Amino acid sequence: MTAHLADSNPPRLSLLVGLFLCLGCAAGAAIAGDVLLLSYEGPITPVASEYLVAGLLAAPESGAEAVVIQLDTPGGLDTAMRDIIKAEMGSTIPVIVFVGPAGSRAASAGAFITVAAHVAVMAPGSNIGSASPVQMAGAAMDSTMKRKVTNDAAAYIASIAEQRERDPDIARSFVVDAVNLTAAEAHDAGVVDFLAADLTALRDSLLGREVEVAGTIHRLDGESLRLVPRPMSLRQRLLKTLADPNVAYILMLLGIYGLFFELSNPGSFAPGILGAICLLLALFAFQALPVDYTGVALILLGVILLLLEIKVPSFGLLSIGGVASLVLGSLMLFDSSEPWARVSLRVMIPTVLVFAAFFLACVWLAVRGLRRPVVSGPQSLIGSPGRVVQAIAGGDEPGKVVFHGEIWDACADVPVPAGGTVRVVEFNGRTARVKPESPPPAPSPSPRS
């Protein structure tokens, strides 16, 4: 039996090994000769840089013939943009940037990325330009700094255009004059190489095209040239969502409130844990957004004032100040002229109203609770009638009184004999102070003999 297995296993083993090798070769060649498709829509942030740079670096290793970046962006961070451009300029295979579908744009940082491509393509109905730099650190630039930043960006995009044999003057006007061109105007000006309505038209236009990359001519002549998508990972999609200023704003408020509730009620744990997580996620998002820390300080002040309203009676003044501080802080939180980097009023106003309403509801419940009569403990007996079972001498000498079936020590300002009816005025510790309500019934006279 052992000998039989020894004779029969090698053919089976060889067959399995051969099958796995074939599958491995097929998997490795699944993208060979094809075009890797990277699709990105939204602001150029560190997440965008991570996704696009990783795709540009992985494409040659996987055997891809070229890379297509389908782009739709309002702009973004200079550092993230430059990382993407470095990867484009250093690519060993053609990089095609497609501003599409119709209605898309390559504004600001997107214009730089498009100009840096080996082949630039736009869909009819898209636009490119408006690349003037703006300050993203929460403070306005003075004239000297603005001129320096503008000249630096203009020289940068002009040098990229010259490298790609595009008109450097048109590229420079994107920065200096904030020029914005339609797809047709960009094609006529030589900013883009051709127009394509969609990815299918783009693929057809790429067939047979020769592209020079680092002095080497690459001919895209595969008969079955396929666009193979490489989507963002789950982690990258999550981080991209967090970088939205509206999401970051809500996470920051939730984090601040969670930590304050935990500090106000130590030991509950849940608010502190959730608050810390939300605050850390908000801090991650802030690195990609133009945060004005005066706005953060005003929001913190607003939260503190609303919390103090619960503890300190201010007749609503703390609540008014807290709401005003929240509104002003929310308006100042992100200081940028770019719409994508600001909190939407449709998000800010309901959020402030909800949080303010929550704290006002807490104040109202606290006031209502203070006004309700006490229902437990000695204080709940104030105003209750009782019967004296041991005479009260008056002054501080206590007697015994029955209230609701319970015997308590009791004092009164005047003597009260046993059997008299009293009513509780106040409690001093475990001793009740009472006042008489009616004299005790007179004893009936004894019959005469």
pLDDT in tens, 271-289: 889 999 999 999 888 876 7
Mean local confidence (pLDDT), 402-413: 88
424 SS3 class: strand
Would you state the structure tokens that stand for residue 264, as one six-digit string?
């106000």
Indicate yes or no: pTM above 0.85: no
Question: Phi first, then psi: what are they for 182, rounded to 5°?
Answer: -75, 170
Do 333 and 344 contact (CB within 8 A), yes or no?
no
Which of 326, 325, 343 is closest to 334 using CA atoms? 343
Is 404's pLDDT higher than 90? Answer: no
Do 107 and 74 contact (CB within 8 A), yes or no?
yes
Give 35's strand partners.
66, 227
Is 428's pLDDT higher than 50? Answer: yes
Do 263 and 239 contact (CB within 8 A), yes or no?
no
Which of 206, 201, 240 is closest to 223 using CA atoms? 206
Is 24's pLDDT higher than 50? Answer: no
Which of 421, 320, 332 is closest to 140 using CA atoms? 332
Question: Phi first, then psi: what are they for 269, rounded to 5°?
Answer: 70, -50
Confidence at residue 215, expressed as pLDDT on a 0 to 100 scale: 87
Q: Which of the four pLDDT bands, split at 50, 70 and 90, describes residue 376?
A: low
Higher pLDDT, 241 or 1: 241
Sorted by where each starts, the structural domains of the chain and their CATH numbers stand as: 27-234 (3.90.226.10), 244-371 (no CATH), 378-437 (2.40.50.140)
Do 161 and 234 contact (CB within 8 A), yes or no?
no
Mean local confidence (pLDDT), 406-416: 89
Mean local confidence (pLDDT), 94-103: 96
Is 230's pLDDT higher than 70? Answer: yes
Query: What span, in angstroms and rounded, lies between the C-alpha atoms of 339 and 376?
Result: 58
pLDDT tens, position by position, 117-146 = 999 999 999 999 999 887 654 455 677 888
pLDDT tens, position by position, 62-81 = 889 999 999 999 998 889 99
Query: What span, in angstroms and rounded, lies between the C-alpha atoms of 294 and 299?
Result: 9
The answer to whether the Cα torsion of 86, 87, 89, 92 is positive or negative is: positive
